[in-house]
Every structure is written in structure tokens, then in C-alpha cells.
Amino acid sequence: MTAKGSPAIEVILSTLENTRDLQTTLNILNILIELVSVGGGRKASALVSKGGTQILLQLLLSASKDSPPNEELMVQLHSLLAKIGPKDKKFGVKARISGTLNISLNLVKQNLQNHRLILPCLQVLRVYSTNSVNAVSLGKNGVVELMFKIIGPFSKKNTGLMKVALDTLAALLKSKTNARRAVDRGYVHVLLTSYVDWHRHDSRHRHMLIRKGILQCIKSVTNIKLGRKAFIDANGMKILYNTSQDCLAVRTLDPLVNTSSLIMRKCFPKNRLPLPTIKSVFHFQLPVIPISGPVAQLYSLPPEVDDVVDESDDNDDIETESEIENENEADKDHLFKNDDIETDINKLKPRQELGRPVEELKMYEQFFPELSDNFKDYDLVSKEPKPFPSDANLSGPIVVPTAGEEQSVEADHSVKGITVKESNHLQAEECNKRPAFLDLPKRDRNKDNILQQQSDKKKLLSSCQCLNYEIVKGLDRITLQNTSKNEQYYKTGCVMKKESKTSLTSLTCNKPCQHVSSCGSVLFEGRSAQLGKLCFTGVDPEEEDDSSSHSSGEQVILEVPDILPLHDPDLYIEIVKNTKSVPEYSEVAYPDYFGHIPPPFKEPILERPYGVQRTKISQDIERLIHQNDIIDRVMYDLDNPSYSVPEDGEILKFNSKFESGNLRKVIQIRKNEYDLILNSDINSNHYHQWFYFEVSGMRPGIGYRFNIINCEKSNSQFNYGMQPLMYSVQEALNSRPWWTRVGTDICYYKNHFARSSIAAGGQKGKSYYTITFTVNFPHKDDVCYFAYHYPYTYSTLRMHLQKLESLHNPQQIYFRQDTLCETLSGNSCPLVTITAMPESNYYEHICQFRNRPYIFLSARVHPGETNASWVMKGTLEYLMSNNPTAQSLRESYIFKIVPMLNPDGVINGNHRCSLSGEDLNRQWQNPNPDLHPTIYHAKGLLQYLAAIKRLPLVYCDYHGHSRKKNVFMYGCSIKETVWHTNVSAASCDLIEDLGYRTLPKILSHIAPTFSMSSCSFVVEKSKESTARVVVWREIGVQRSYTMESTLCGCDQGKYKGLQIGTRELEEMGAKFCVGLLRLKRLTSPLEFNLPSSLLDFENELIESSCKVTSPTTYVLDEDEPRFLEEVDYSAESNDEQDIELADNAGDYEPSVQEEGLSDSEMTRTHLP
């Protein structure tokens, strides 16, 4: 009888169905109730599978015809139905078809005082009501009114019955028809009054389930707009806010606090963003307006349409009482089906097609001179590298990033290709110089003060001990001035603005430097740049002492070109002047000028404090309840350039008017709290995620809260330990020029701001999300910069490429930089070619040179994914290094690299789009040469290689991923795509070379940040126009990948538990190169004398069990396991899927291990 398939159950059910004896029926029902009670869900499911539901419902129908019906029989029948009903996914439909819905309802109506009978009846009604059609039908028959009659006024009698009645009511009110009926009859006020009564009288918290049941009813009724209005009108916000504040002290009451918070957030009136329009504040006139798509829609909107009008995010107004039930609803979760995965095998099969005439493709021949050059004019006799030019200022070979090796700055001053130099001969040379004096000559009061400094070529920036109070205060923000007004100053050196009150004739640095006697080093020399006033007061004596002790053993001369072999502030300024931006930026951010080196310490993933999100949301709700406490003062506004910030020593100042900057508006909310609004991508009205801005005027020891209130993604790694980045100018002058992870109380959640359906492109109005974080600044009146991720500007790329070109050995390395095309705004898109020079100009050597396979790399198609550029930097540095492995790599391949596919987007601070307002990584199928020139010509290069039968061995597009950890790849496989969709077994007989798995598997062995388990080789419909899929399908490159790098950190390997930094990203770029060399050895074993065991490596790789994980963020919304706080705060107005979760939510928060699970661990599917 105990086995699931036991015939004994069938015998019992058959007897129950056929007997006419009341006592026999009661006995059998008692047996079944006992069986289900002891056996739990398994036994209930067994009963359902044997047809028990239909038998019991039929018995209920026939028993109801007796007058009066037998009470004991009804109690037993309903008790059993209440237990097996939740296990039968068709229970509601069966009850409706059998006509038993109203039997239970009538029993309750007729026996209101008989609690023993109506308790199981209410339990059955609750199960019935989970079906929306049943809920509407019961509602028409007065069930809502009946439930309120049972609940009645506050009384501690019959609390068990009241709990069941509340649960039933909550289920009934999920029907919008019933919810409207409850609102019309004033029941929202009744529920709130009842909740307050229970809150006051339940001082020992013994009836928390009843209080939560009332809240669940309020939650259900506020799913509709009428319900939310009734809740506000009944002063519900203040009631729930005050009661939840009372509950905070008792941890066991967290479910009440969490549910109250959810209701308040849901009912918080949806507001428009405080902007004139959510379209970008900057506009760029396109040469061609697309015929269709979001940009076309944006251009077609009439000017009088306010695209940020508040709009409800539900459609209950158009819903009729005939709510339609999907009868197959129960089968939805039975088998996961991803509609985005391509199932058409004909579409999946790569079909190599040029897409353009061969004659037209000949235009790309100019970018492949290596295929025709005979090197007659090159000196190729000596294989020994020539010395670098004497003025290259390079202190040895470029160091390949090795993030695993932690070095003390004192022992070895090289970190990841970045050299901190403390050279003895340099010190001796400096010590022989007399101390420098910085003179500020007096000028007419109508003219700026001019600081003229003498300097050698190296343009040293000494440590901050050598810059005293007045000098630092005299430094100004770097700006680019192209007006004739300032040209006269350019010839005399660096122009510095001083406050008119300052009249210093001589500034002397009188504090001796610990390493060199000369401490008045030149900051800038002979540059056509203007410096704006730095907003900090310099180093006071206490801070000097602190920094001295903090950096003991680290204090060295900060020599910008030597610390950063690829960084040259002078060159950066010159390049910025030629960079074309839509806002015509005239300032340079200090981090981009000074450069960045990785900090010499680990930055662990931040542990999430308990209840931080709830606290932040509560503070947001206070804005509505205590409106008089809100300052609401605009502090920065790109929409109103003439707006002047009031002079107040207590407020922060903001700026984002520099390359890659993004901050549109700042509003002071409370004394130390600011709402920040990001700018949309140009020619777009959305894509807000990337931020980069400057803050000044701070005071130490104060926690400043920043809320970025118009983010769009539904989840973020900010909920899983990621911190924003900060760069302190004062720290940079203290020989610590690095971006660091900062911020506490960080979370990411849905807020009360929304877009209209017009702005959302025809969709229903969408809510925005808030990133909130609190920062304590270390220095008074510092200038600090905040960024979403480590900034890497277009001008930085240009500078790095020029430095690489000037420092390479032309006899050993073939390096060529071309302009692939010009972007929409007239910036050049660099194309880099790197390989080894031929050994000589003999025919055999030239043939070997020309026949090297191509590797095609690209990056930064999405401007906000700056980590892709840091990985690319690591790749470029490694390829240009003197490392013997790098030389072998250059001798094995010809690298064609487009390091930045979207220069305009990067320059103008976009997050995802180019100036065309489109995602360029969705344009590879049919790129428009006028709107998408970089994609059109990058694809043209690949089409040209296909036309001349020189397909690249590997194509890889570097990206960043905002919602997953580690580094991983997306590739393309017909077989894995078919397996993932569970298509017929016949399709699994496809023959496919599994070589596409080799490179990711190699990287998982050699790169600490790389995770094979996160990789996916599934082809999705939504990605059919991405670089990865088009290069695989149309160009015919089997190893076509997207390599995604986390913005957050790692949850596996050597860096587990650490946030990722530029050192690790650059290391990944270098390891990618090493992986390519191993790939070469595996695919061409005859070229190498390798042990046979190593030659079996690839077979081992491709025969290993295939694991398919969730393809991408766009296929599955959530890539991290959902933490309970996030579930309980989803705040969707029609969010009904968390019924069971909500019952437990808030009792605990997930452990670090739970949050650390990767999405692959959550959703991995093992292939047969």
C-alpha cells in the first residue's frame, strides 16, 4: 500500500467510488487522510495519478444532494481534497467541470457558526481560487464578502479559522475582478484597520501569521491601480511605514517588514524622472535616418509628446471579467523551453557567403600589405633586436602581466607592465640639481597668473611630500582651450588660473623629499592646455605624516612616463585635442591624465550586510511620508548649462564634461544624500548604466550617499558584492595613482521612477532601478572620480598604440597601424597588424611569413564594457613584448586587431550604442556603411579574407558582462544548440568538429579568471546579427567567439572571492595569447617536437562531457541565484509568482556560498 504504484490504492479508490454505504465511505476517507498525512506529498501525488481527484469530487457532488448533507462526510471529503488539491495541477479545472465549486461555498454560507465544517471548506476554496477563472466565478457568488464576514473585527478567538480565511481571501484577490470588487466595497480600509488592531494587540507576536495574512490580502488588492489608489487614500503608506518601523527590532518579524516594504514600494506613486525629456541631452544629426527601429521611432515622435509621462505598469483597465485561463498552464514548468534558441537546423548550418562582390572587396587589399610586401627595403640580416631609441624612456622590456605574483614595491617596482622607478643614477642626477622654485609672477589683475616652469624631458611628478599647501591649491583642472584668447599663453608654457585674491610671488617647497633633494618638479611643460582649479587644500601636516607612514618603503618618484611605459600625459593631451566629441569637451579628467596602476592590495568581493536593501527602500519611502525633510535642490544639470550652483561649503560639486564622462543631473535630497541621473546614449532614450563623473568639495569622516536612479537592467552585480570605483587626485599625488573599489551599503533595486509606453518603444511603461552606495572620502576638499568600471577612453587607446609603435623593435616585430575608417563624428577607427618580421627576404622566409594563419580580434563594441579594453591592452602588450613565447606567437600568426569598434560611443560616454543610437553588435548581418561604418568595414576585412581563401583560424570579440562572474566564452555549435532544445533524436546524428571547444578548454587550464563551466556554445535567435554568429555562419570561421569578462569578480580559481582589477584583466589578455600558441601546437603538431601525451590533449578536451549552461543574460533574465531579499522586493505590480517564497522571505538572508553560486551551477544541463 505504501508504494507509489501500489494496486492497493487503486482497490481503495475503486471501493470508494462504488460503495453506497456511508460508514464504509467514512472509513475509507479516514484511511486516505491518514495515508496522505503520514506519506506527505508523495502519497498525495499517487492518489492524484490514480484518478483520486475525480472520484472525490464526484463523491462530493453526490453527497451534496442529500438534504441536509452529512456533516462528517463533508468534513472528511474537504479535508482530503484540501490535502491532494495542491498536488493536482488540473484541480481547479476538474472542480469547475464537475460542478463542485459552489458546493463548498454554499456550505460555508449556511454553516458560519460551525467552525469544524467550514475550516476544511475554506481550505478547499483556497485551492480552487488559485485558478483565475474559478476565482472570478466564486467572486460573482459573493465569496469576497463572505470572507470579510468571517474575518470580522479584531478578535483572538478562532485564530486558526481566521488564518485560513485570510489565505483564501489573498488567493481570491489575485483576480483583478475580485480586487476591484473589494476596492468598491471599501475593504482596503477594513484590511488596514484590522492590521493596525492586530499590530497593537499582538504584543507577544504569537499571531504573526494572521498579521502576514492581512498583508498578503493588501498585497493582492494593490496589484491593480484602483487598489493602489485606495491604499494611498486610506493613508496606507504611513500606517505600514510606522508599523514596520516598530517591527524592526524583532528579527522574527522580518517577514512582516519585508511584505510591508514590498506593498509600499508598489504603491509609491510612479514618477517621471525630473528631466525635460529622457532623450539624450546631446543630439547628433545622422547622415541617414533608418527606415525602422528605435532610432526611426525617436525621430518620428512629434515634439509636443512628453516621452516621460507617468503611466501605470498594468493593464487592469482593459481587463474584462471573462479572464481567460490557459488550460496548459500546468505544463509550462514541466519542461523548460527557451524560445530564443534557434531550432531551424538549416539556419544553424554555416553558409559561407561573401555578401559583397569580389571587385568591391578589393578595396580592403590596402589593409593587407603583408601579403604582397617582399621586404626588399628592410634590414633583415640580423636577428638580434636593435636597441630602443634613446628617448623612448623605457626601463627594460614590456613586462607581461602576471597577476598571480604579488610583489612588494620596494623589492621590485614593476607591476604588470607598469614600472615604478627608483633608479640610483636618476636620483644622483636629480640630487645634483638645485632645488626648483615655482614662481607665480604678478600680472595685471585682468590677466591670469602664469606659472612658467623649467623641466627636463622626463616631466617628473614628485610624490606629494614635495608639493606643499599653496602649490597643490594652485593646480587646476586640466582643460583644452582652442580659443585665440589663450594662444599667447601656449607659447610660454602651462597656463594656470589663480583666484584673484591670491598674490604669491614665489612658492617654495621647503619640506625635504625622502628620496631626492629636488622636489619642485614640473607638472606640465609647454602644453597647450589650461588647468582648472583643483578643489582641495593640499596636504595638511597630519595627512603628510599619515601618508608618510602609510607608504614607507613605497615612496618613490612618480615619473609618469616611466611608471606607465604606455602612458604619456603630454601625448594624451595632444591626442585629446584631436578627438571629436558631440559635446565638444574641453576638459580632461585627472585619472586619464595621470594614468592608473593596479593597487598593491587585494580587493575582496563585498559581503552584503543583512537588510541593507530594506533600509534603503525605507529611506526612499520616507521621502513621501516626510516630504518637508527633503531638500530637493539641483546641484548639476546638463539640460540647463547656465544653472549656477549656490556657493555653500557644505555641498558637493559635480562634473562630467570630459571624455567618456556620463552624469546628466544631480539633485540634493538630504544634507549628505544625492540623486544622480545618467545621460541616455546619444540618439536614444535609454541605455543608462555607465557612469563616470567628478566630485569635489567633500569633507572627511562623513558618509555621502549617492543614488543613481535611472538604471535599466533588472539585476546587477552590485547586488552580489561589486563596488563602484573611485580615483582620488590627492592619493595620486601621494604616489598612489589608482582606481580603488569603494562604497558600503551597496544595493540595486527597482525604484518609483518609470518610463511611459511611448518612451519604452511601445512596451508597457517600465520602471527604473537605483544603484545606491555610501562613500567616506579620505581627504578634505579632494577631487575624486567615480566610475562604473575602470575607464579606458578612446584617447587612451590612441596614446597606447602610439607608444607601442614608438617602443617596438622594427627588426623583430612587424607592427602596422592603419585607419580602418572614420566614424560618424570623424574619429579614426584604428586597425592594428602584428606579426613577426620574416627572418630574411629569402623566398622561403617570405612564404612562411605570408602563409601564417590569421587571428582576428576586436573589442569595445559596447562603450560601457571598459573591461574589454583592458583585456585588449593585455593582449596588445603581450604581443609586442620581448617574451620568447610572444615571439613564437608572432611567428605563428598574423594578428588583425580592431581594438575599439565603437570610438564615438566611448568618447561620448554612451553605455551601449554608437551615435546612430543602435547597438552595433546587432548590425553585423546588414551593416549600413553610412550608419555603422566600423562594423561595415570590419566585416569587409573578414569578407576579403574569405574571398582570398585566408579565413582566420580564430575570431574573438572582447566584451564585458554585467551580471555574471569570471571570464568565459560564447561560441557557436549546431549540435549543442540542437541538444539544448531537445529536438528529435535524429537531429543529434549531426557530425560536427568539436574543435570550437579547444581554445576555451585551454584557457580554463591556464587563465585563473577563466571558467569553462560558464561557457556556452548555443546559438540564439536574438544573437543572429552579432559578430560571433555572423562570422561563424556567414564568413565560415568555426572558432568564432565572444569573450566575456566580469565587471565584478571571480567565484572560482585563484581569484575566488576577489573583485577583478586591471591587473587580472590584462593578465587575461596575455593568457589568451598563450592559449592561441597552445592551440597552434594542438592543431599543427607536426611543426613541433612535442611529447605524444600532449598531442592527445585535444582529444581529451573534445571527448569530455559537454555541458550546456544558460546561454546569455538575454535568454535568462537572472544569471545569479535570486537572493530572498531581492525576491521580496521585486515590487512588480502584477508579481504573483512568489507566493510560497514570500511566506519564508526575510527569515534569513543567503549565505555567501549561496550567493556565490554561478548561473551555470544553477541551470546547468548535462547533455546525453
DSSP string covering 436-496, please? P-EE-----TTS--B------TT--B--GGGS-HHHHHH---EE---SGGGHHHHTTS-EE
Helix (H) or strand (E) holding 253: none
Amino acid (1-letter code) at residue 504: L
Residues 6 or more apart whose Cβ sits within 8 Å of residue 544: 464, 465, 511
Tally Cβ neighbours within 10 Å of residue 925. Answer: 15
The candidate with the shortest Cα–Cα distance to 489, out of 435, 438, 528, is 528
Tally Cβ neighbours within 10 Å of residue 1146. Answer: 25
C-alpha dihedral sign at 982, 985, 987, 992: positive
Say whether the peptide bond before residue 68 is cis (omega within 30 degrees of 0): yes
Separation between Cα atoms, residue 994 and residue 274, nearest integer Å: 53
Residues 6 or more apart whose Cβ sits within 8 Å of residue 627: none
Separation between Cα atoms, residue 102 and residue 180, nearest integer Å: 21
User: Residue 898 forms beta bridges with which residues?
Assistant: 858
Separation between Cα atoms, residue 663 and residue 658, nearest integer Å: 10
Amino acid (1-letter code) at residue 528: S
* Three state DSSP letters for 315-381: CHHHCCCCCCCCCCHHHCCCCCCCCCECCCHHHHCCCCCCCCCHHHHHHHHHHCHHHCCCCCCCCCC
Separation between Cα atoms, residue 182 and residue 172, nearest integer Å: 10
CA distances from 651 to 281, 475, 534, 633, 782 (A): 25, 21, 16, 11, 13
1020-1052: burial string, b at 16+ Cβ within 10 Å, e else: bbbbebbbbbbbbbbbbbbbbbbbbbbbbbbbb
1116-1144: burial string, b at 16+ Cβ within 10 Å, e else: beebbbbbbbbbbbbbbbeeeebeeebee
List strand residue ranges (DSSP E) for 590-743, in order: 633-637, 653-655, 665-670, 673-677, 692-696, 703-711, 725-728, 739-741
Residues 6 or more apart whose Cβ sits within 8 Å of residue 6: 46
Separation between Cα atoms, residue 900 and residue 888, nearest integer Å: 26
Q: Is 509 left (phi over 0), alpha (psi -120 to 50) or beta?
A: beta
Separation between Cα atoms, residue 103 and residue 192, nearest integer Å: 31
User: Residue 954 forms beta bridges with which residues?
Assistant: 855, 1039
The candidate with the shortest Cα–Cα distance to 165, out of 180, 145, 181, is 145
Catalytic residue among 422, 543, 865, 1044: 1044
Residue for grid cell 580559481: 1053
Residues 6 or more apart whose Cβ sits within 8 Å of residue 446: none
Instruction: Reply yes or no on whether 1044 is catalytic.
Output: yes
What SS3 state is found at 289? coil
Tally Cβ neighbours within 10 Å of residue 648. Answer: 12
Please compute, for residue 117, the number of CA atoms within 13 A of its CA located in the half-sphere on the CB side. 18
Residue for grid cell 551601449: 912
Tally Cβ neighbours within 10 Å of residue 66. Answer: 11
The candidate with the shortest Cα–Cα distance to 1028, out of 1044, 1040, 1016, 1018, is 1040
Residues taking part in catalysis: 1044
